[in-house]
Structure 1
Amino acid sequence: MLLHVGAFVLDIDSKQATPWHKLAPRTRILCTLLFVFATVLTPDGHWWTWGIYGLALICLLLLSRVTLLVLLKRLAVEFTFIGVVLLGTLFRGGGEILWSWGPIQVTTVGLTVLGSVTLKALLSLSILNLLTLTTSVTALLHALLELKTPPLLVAILASMYRYISVLIGEFNAMRRAAESRNLMNSNRSIRLIVGNTIGALFIRTYDRGNLVYQAMLSRGYQGVPPMVEKVSSGGRYDVVALSLTVILALLGQAIYWRK
């Protein structure tokens, strides 16, 4: 089940000592956003541009010493959700027809769009996962505040992160209770138990979430978790990192400017 995948472990590599980790959290966010915007705004079929971006991303993954197995698991989970959207782009009309079956057609334009959207999603999700794996959630939230993100939005993100662990914990407790009573011994019973569990889960997590919120208020919660760890405040390395990101984005686009 998805809850057993390491996809929900957000910041397991945040304690590494690499040049990427030495950057201020807000700088990592800005570099990530610049890379994502440069990737998704690239027109379809610009394969050399994505090749340059992909090579730079591989170097960054090796430099940051991120746990590749966890990264691949998270990408696999995310691609299960966007796979239907990606498959829909294959049947876009236009260009030469390569295969057809009734009203369904696969064309050269459809293949180009499918490959382009897949590469955009892969590169964007990879660097976003890299950001969340190598930066603690508290540091990310405070970096968003430093970047003038609305405090209410940051508070919502903080609550989502805090309560998803409550949701997972309640689900695992109910699953273990069902397994200890031998109620999940067939596919039919598993579907029945999981369906009933999901319904009861909302009621249990509502009560548990209220208790957690009261506990947070009693400990001085004011919308964003307090910073415990010491993070970099920025410096010349951050300027260099942002400059290199801008140069990379422009370099990838410059290949097609002359055409």
Structure 2
Amino acid sequence: MILLHLGAMHLVEAEKNQTLWHRLTPKSRLLCTLLLVFAIALTPNGRWLTWAVYAGAVGLIMLLSRVRLWVLFRRVAVEFVFIGVVLLGTLFRDGGHTLFRWGWIQITTEGLTVLGSVSLKAFLSLLILNTLILTTSVPALLHALTALKMPPLLVAILASMYRYIAVLIDEFHSMQKAARSRNLMGNPKRQRIIVGNMFGSLFIRTYERGERVHQAMLARGYQGLPPLAETQSGGRGDILALTIMISVLLFGQAITFHAP
């Protein structure tokens, strides 16, 4: 899963696109995305018409951003596999009419409603979040978080993770090649022990290497955030986009409160 998302960290070609979505500042894109995700997540279960409105907003952003759909859905599919294990537990709950029963396992109408609602929330949220990641570089996102007054320490931790995760993967690959060159990965029974030892050694190496990397970053003028080649200033388009987004969210919530 990490390998699937690593390529997006150095994604700079998306920043060169001249779409309406890309013309917004990273701060406005992040703010629109967060507002939409919170609105989707906080909508009560079973409000299908409200989610239809939010799905239209997500689809419009995907259309305007011109994101590659096969890349987007591949990332969402991998993420949804991990989330689906947790979502499955929402199916077996009391309430409503019992549709199926086998021992202590039962499927009710309430369980189906909760499962469908939570799955739809997760799917829409993953779509819009991955669209943001695929169209905005990580340094721009970090600077946008700083502009939104996120705690500087948390932003610095995210920036360090962004800069260091590729080093971790390269280090693991070098250890894996060394194990294969010594014919240590051929026996399936010993392979689990070797991989476990590699993770233990990797933890020690990362601790020592992290100190050296941090000192090297400080010597080169590191101030908590990765450098950003070009900064964008907000304009009328950003104000219009935020106004439209807030109007859509208020319309969706109005449908929620007026629904029977």
| TM, length-normalised to structure 2 | 0.91
Equivalent position of 2:182 in the other structure: 181
Q: Structure 1 residues 77 and 193 mapped into 2: Cα distance closer, same or farther (>3 Å)?
A: farther
State the alpha-carbon separation in 1 of the partners of residues 30 and 62 from structure 2: 15
SS in 2 for 1:52: helix
8 Å CA contact retained: 1:61, 1:130: yes
State the alpha-carbon separation in 2 of the partners of residues 186 and 8 from structure 1: 32
User: Which shows bigger deviation, 66-75 or 147-156?
Assistant: 66-75
Q: How far has the Cα of 1:143 moved from its partner?
A: 1.4
8 Å CA contact retained: 1:141, 1:154: yes
Which aligned pairs between 1:66-81 and structure 2 lie closer than 5 A? 66-81=67-82
Which aligned pairs between 1:1-259 and structure 2 lie closer than 5 A? 2-6=1-5, 9-10=8-9, 12=11, 13-227=14-228, 229-258=229-258, 259=260
Q: Structure 1 residues 80 and 8 mapped into 2: Cα distance closer, same or farther (>3 Å)?
A: farther
SS in 2 for 1:5: helix
Count residues with an aligned counterpart. Answer: 257
Q: Structure 1 residues 152 and 143 mapped into 2: Cα distance closer, same or farther (>3 Å)?
A: same
Instruction: Look up the equivalent residue of 2:172 and give its one-letter code.
Output: F
8 Å CA contact retained: 1:166, 1:209: no
State the alpha-carbon separation in 1 of the partners of residues 10 and 241 from structure 2: 21
Instruction: Look up the equivalent residue of 2:241 and give its one-letter code.
Output: A
Q: Structure 1 residues 91 and 155 mapped into 2: Cα distance closer, same or farther (>3 Å)?
A: same
SS in 1 for 2:64: helix
Q: How far has the Cα of 1:179 moved from its partner?
A: 3.0
**Percent sequence identity over matched residues?**
60
8 Å CA contact retained: 1:24, 1:238: yes
SS in 2 for 1:100: strand
State the alpha-carbon separation in 2 of the partners of residues 67 and 168 from structure 1: 26
Structure 1: runs of 5 or more not aligned: none
Q: How far has the Cα of 1:38 moved from its partner?
A: 1.0
SS in 2 for 1:98: strand
State the alpha-carbon separation in 1 of the partners of residues 130 and 54 from structure 2: 16
Instruction: Look up the equivalent residue of 1:239 and give its one-letter code.
Output: I
Q: How far has the Cα of 1:138 moved from its partner?
A: 1.3
Q: How far has the Cα of 1:125 moved from its partner?
A: 1.6
User: Which shows bigger deviation, 131-140 or 111-120?
Assistant: 131-140
Q: Structure 1 residues 256 and 206 mapped into 2: Cα distance closer, same or farther (>3 Å)?
A: closer
SS in 2 for 1:175: helix
SS in 2 for 1:211: helix
RMSD, aligned CA:
1.9
State the alpha-carbon separation in 2 of the partners of residues 38 and 128 from structure 1: 13
1:147-178 Cα offsets, whole Å, 9 max, x none, are: 11121111111112112122111112222222
Q: How far has the Cα of 1:9 moved from its partner?
A: 2.5
8 Å CA contact retained: 2:62, 2:131: yes
State the alpha-carbon separation in 2 of the partners of residues 73 and 179 from structure 1: 30
Structure 2: runs of 5 or more not aligned: none
State the alpha-carbon separation in 2 of the partners of residues 186 and 83 from structure 1: 33
State the alpha-carbon separation in 2 of the partners of residues 145 and 6 from structure 1: 23
State the alpha-carbon separation in 2 of the partners of residues 220 and 160 from structure 1: 18
1:80-106 Cα offsets, whole Å, 9 max, x none, are: 332222011111111111111211211
User: Which shows bigger deviation, 37-46 or 205-214?
Assistant: 205-214
State the alpha-carbon separation in 1 of the partners of residues 79 and 197 from structure 2: 26
